[in-house]
Structure 1
């Protein structure tokens, strides 16, 4: 006669069950949350003075690039992390104001009126307006490309530029952004930040290799930043793009505050390192000093 089963047990004893089956299932690691421009607004949640609608509109504007000059609402939603409804409202407002539009009703693009915003900055910014004629004079004298940039987040932003020939695959212009860690102007700007700021920067930035020459270790980059600060210039040899070589110096105000960097960029085969250091570096420093003296 079989014995009745004790309550809470099955006919198969737990002791007969394989050990692996007795173990609780291990929790699967959560999938990484995709960071989007929209998610960067989360830190302002609850701030009564923060205009979320304005911030969303600016995110939509910044989503358009040279590589993606036209996009649908769905594409913009995916790229920005905003809902389709939010993107639609932003585009509706921008279209009504003349800053955006869609020829076929589906693919949106920015309109020339948006240039009025950037022109307002360059016209009202003393650094940009003072730099442009100096760069133009330098280009006329040496037939090379010169630029002035400032640091914005982890990137450099061009605020003045003259070009005599295209030296990069990407067409650079006022407003263009490049990573700071692998550009001569970026290294000058990074080198003059505080030690704490640089430490935080290195902790968050991804040192992506653009060429086989790109410095991608924090220790080596720190050495280069110390050298840039001590020597008063940074020279980057084909780290951003093969065949591109650049030299940059800091721009200081009369009070000694570093506010920008001025650089020369050119073709590596045509512009040897020694030539840049001996022929062009003194002229770059003179131009930087001239520009700094105007920033009172």
Structure 2
């Protein structure tokens, strides 16, 4: 029995319902109960009751034997996005940097052992798969994961490492050394760089953005196809420009926030 399961105040049914909602991703927008059960580890009978309830509440929509997120699910995050001044401030500069470099520029936050993109700007080309709002990825093999975790206090960082080792064992031995080096790079140079480690054919850099009063960490990343880069451009040009963008966003945010 896990620590959470031993918590008398923990609402297991609610947690399972949320896990069903979280199971839907851009690469699996529509799933059957059997597929949801496989993704969540929740037994099929329970998934059937949860999906039925979520349809009735307007969070899922059923199409024959498949389910997909309904627009009602968007209402859960709308209050967050409406008040996210950081995204409104950053958006124009992110778009300009993406266009200048021919890459993608994203803002993300920590979600357990993953990151979640809150905003992405990119060139208007189908060069490779681009990440959009709500896209989730593992912290360990991603530059933005390094920039996010570098902002955590020592005790929280140690806890996050323990969580990643436990819940993403498939990534731990392969990426932990590069992850730790990236975190140290963020602390010493203000950015980290990854060259095709997670997404082949691209180079990425990431910088910390801020940690808000609620303890949420925000970071920015920029990913560029290798064929658009020359020499050490990712470190000598892209990373400094991303650092400057982040500093500008922080400055503007300090000016508009009470």
TM-score tier, shorter chain, comes to: 0.7 to 0.9
**Residues 1:238 and 1:215: Cα distance change in structure 2 (over 3 Å):** farther
Q: Deviations over 1:148-181 (max 9, x none)?
A: 1122222111111112134544x41111112222
TM-score by length of 2: 0.81
User: 1:131, 1:160 within 8 Å by CA — same for their partners in 2?
Assistant: no
Corresponding residue pairs, total = 249
- C-alpha distance 217-144 of structure 1, shift in aligned 2 (>3 A): closer
Q: Which has the larger radius of gyration?
A: 1
Corresponding residue of 1:42: 5
Aligned to 1:25: none
Partner of 1:103 in structure 2?
63
CA distance in 1, matches of 2:122, 2:70: 25
Separation of aligned partners in 1, 2:69 and 2:216: 34
Separation in structure 1 between the aligned mates of residue 154 and residue 88 of structure 2, nearest angstrom: 31
Cα distance change on mapping 1:72 and 1:264 into 2, 3 Å: closer
For 1:125-164, what aligned pairs fall within 5 Å after superposition? 125-164=84-123
1:232 to 190, 195, 202: 190
Structure 2 unaligned spans of 5+:
none
1:196 and 1:287 mapped to 2: Cα distance? 29
Return the structure number with greater strand share.
2
Aligned to 1:289: 247
Task: Give yes or no for contact 1:167–1:244 (8 Å, CA) kept in 2.
Answer: no
Higher helix share: 2
Preserved contact between residue 25 and residue 135 of structure 2 (Cα < 8 Å): no
Task: Say if 2:22 is the partner of 1:70.
Answer: no
Q: Distance in 1 between matches of 2:139 and 2:232?
A: 24
Corresponding residue of 2:207: 249
Alpha-carbon shift at residue 222 of structure 1 (Å): 2.6
Any idea what SS the aligned residue of 2:250 has?
A: helix
Q: TM (normalized to structure 1)?
A: 0.72
Q: CA contact under 8 A between 1:244 and 1:268: conserved in structure 2?
A: yes
Structure possessing the higher relative contact order (Cα contacts under 8 Å, 6 or more residues apart): 2
CA contact (8 A) 1:245 1:266 kept: yes
Q: Which residue of 1 aligns with 2:76?
A: 117
User: For residues 145 and 79 of structure 1, what CA distance do their matches in structure 2 show?
Assistant: 29
Q: Is the 8 A contact 1:235 1:247 kept in 2?
A: yes
Gaps of at least 5 residues in structure 1 are: 1-32, 34-38
Distance 1:291 1:97, change over 3 A: same
1:43–1:218 CA distance, 2 compared to 1 (3 A): same
TM-superposed deviation, 1:97: 2.8
Hey, what's the Cα distance between the residues in 1 that align with 2:111 and 2:237? Answer: 30
Partners of 1:242 and 1:143 lie apart in 2 by 16
